[in-house]
Structure 1
Amino acid sequence: MPFASRQSIPPSGCRKPDDTWSNWEGRFIMDLASEKARLLQRDAEWAAAAYEGRDLERVLSYWTDDAVVFVPGLPPVAGKEALRQYVQGSMQIPGFRISWTSTAVTLSPDGNLAYMFSQNAVTMNGPDGTPATTEGRGVTIWRRESDGEWRCAVDIWNSQV
């Protein structure tokens, strides 16, 4: 009976039609640099959508259905419906803008979780109508969903004041 030895299968793996990689045992292997770049790009797209503050559904689409957001000074905001109310309320605050830049993606060994650190700024009008900005830092935990897309599962930040 013919068989293939370990030596006859490239140790670097085999590319599948769906552009994933597997090793000789059939285990999933990913290109870490590409996956990190993909996640940073997705986060940058989310930040742009949030900054524009016009498309509620687009902003919400970057969170998992069971996401939890830890907002400074408030109870945790858990689940898509609670997030919808929170984001919609934020978008209605005069002068509200949020921006962030994330760096240093770290992936779990199985490639299904990741976390990133960020620097952020939240702006809204003060009582006299003058914009006031608070700078902060944050951590997001991302999960690869069953559709293969990365979505944020945990989002926490605080101010640097």
Structure 2
Amino acid sequence: MRTRFQVFGLSLIMILGCNPYEDSPERKQWLAEIKTVEQEFNAMARDSGLARAFGYYATDNAVLQREERFIKGRDSIIAYYERNSSPDMNLNWEPSYVDVSDDGTLGYTYGKFKFTMIDTTGSERTQSGVFHTVWKRQDDGTWRYVWD
């Protein structure tokens, strides 16, 4: 009887200690893809503007939470950034954590962002915080955000 408990205990430890997805080549690829798309998204925001970047990487039904309200849909997101951004604004971010679902269809990232702008007096203003983005793999294999 004691041997059964020892075998059961050892088996349980082995099962719980294993992550079948940890070494999966697919999982590593998906994580790398999401990290890369975050970097490309950030570069587009810096180089081409917030409206273009947030519009390009959004799904048709993406949702942003900004200023205690929801902005729903790609067209509304583009319109929001066209109204609320200017060339003297700079947004940079970098994910500190990336994860992906077991089937590779959804992923999420979070990390720190830094938003800098020149105000009407010519002074630089900076705001920093934490972002969280949910990514969805599209039928063509690209990643687009559904929540930011």
C-alpha RMSD of the superposition: 1.9
Match of 1:79 in 2: 73
- Which of 91, 96, 102 is the matching residue for 1:109? 102
Tell me the number of residue pairs that the alignment of Structure 1 and Structure 2 aligns.
125
Distance in 2, matches of 1:46 and 1:87, equals: 15
Alignment of 1:9-88 (within 5 A): 31-54=26-49, 56-71=51-66, 73-88=67-82
Query: CA 1:54–1:154 in structure 2 vs 1: closer, same or farther (change >3 Å)?
Result: closer
Secondary structure of 2:97's match? strand
Is residue 102–residue 118 contact of structure 1 (8 Å, CA) maintained in 2?
A: yes
Structure 1 residue 58: Cα displacement? 4.7
Letter matched to residue 98 of structure 1:
L
Q: Is the 8 A contact 2:134 2:145 kept in 1?
A: yes
Give every structure 1 segment of 4 or more consecutive aligned residues whose post-TM-superposition deviation is greater than 4 Å: none
In structure 2, runs of 5+ residues without a counterpart are 1-23
Could you state the TM-score of these two structures normalised by the residue count of structure 2? 0.76
In the TM superposition, residue 83 of structure 1 has moved relative to its aligned partner by 0.5
Deviations 1:38-69 (A, max 9, x none): 11011101001112244844541111110000
Residue 130 of structure 1, aligned match among 123, 128, 132: 123
User: Which residue identity lines up with residue 65 of structure 1 in the other structure?
Assistant: D
TM-score normalised by L of structure 1: 0.70
CA distance in 1 between counterparts of 2:34 and 2:122 reads 37
Distance 2:71 2:34 in 1: 23
5 Å matches for 1:121-160? Answer: 121-155=114-148
Give me the whole-angstrom Cα distance separating, in 2, the residues matched to 1:59 and 1:119: 17
| Alpha-carbon distance change, 134 to 105 in structure 1, aligned in 2, over 3 angstroms | same
Structure 1 unaligned runs (5+)? 1-28, 156-161
